[in-house]
Amino acid sequence: MIRKGKYAMHNGSEYSFSLLEDKSIRLISHKPADLSQGFKHLDENIYIKNVSVEEVGNFFKINSKAIYKREMFRASEERKTGKVLLATTNTELAKKMGFERTDKYMYSKSVEWDEVEIIEEREPYSLD
């Protein structure tokens, strides 16, 4: 799974989250085991738990990238195929690596998981 977005620590685990109107935090999990931690089943494989800001540890943002053939690319997971989708705006690199043009300035390529190394870049996130 390629993670992107806002995350928070709660009881020693990392969860994606959203800030609710009442300034509480909605933690989001995809693990049925979190039902034992007070999460509620919301949808197919989505579990949620609302907590106060004080119950959450540090907040951070994750941006995942992939190393493919010794080059770094933006990465996401293709929902339909489950493969890793690589993207770049670098025309020369895209041509060299066999990427397809998908937009005016964007090139992409689907690859298997064992062809890449996923790197998570983390930075602090503030609720302010």
Distance CA 40, CA 115 (A): 36
Global confidence as pTM:
0.81
Distance CA 67, CA 47 (A): 31
* pLDDT band at 1; cut points 50, 70, 90: confident
Instruction: Tell whether the model's pLDDT for residue 57 goes beyond 90.
Output: no
In 3D, which of 126, 122, 10, 16 has the Cα closest to residue 61?
Answer: 122
43 forms beta bridges with 46
Q: Are 14 and 28 in contact (CB under 8 A)?
A: no
Q: Which helix (H) or strand (E) holds 92?
A: helix 91-97
Residue 109: count other Cβ atoms within 10 Å of its Cβ: 19
Distance CA 103, CA 101 (A): 6
Cα 12–Cα 75–Cα 68 angle in degrees, nearest 5: 110
Look at residue 97 in the predicted model and tell me its pLDDT.
96
* pLDDT band at 127; cut points 50, 70, 90: confident
**Coil, strand or helix at 95:** helix
Residue 59 amino acid letter = F
pLDDT per residue over 7-53, tens digit each?
A: 999 999 999 999 999 989 999 999 999 999 999 999 888 999 999 99
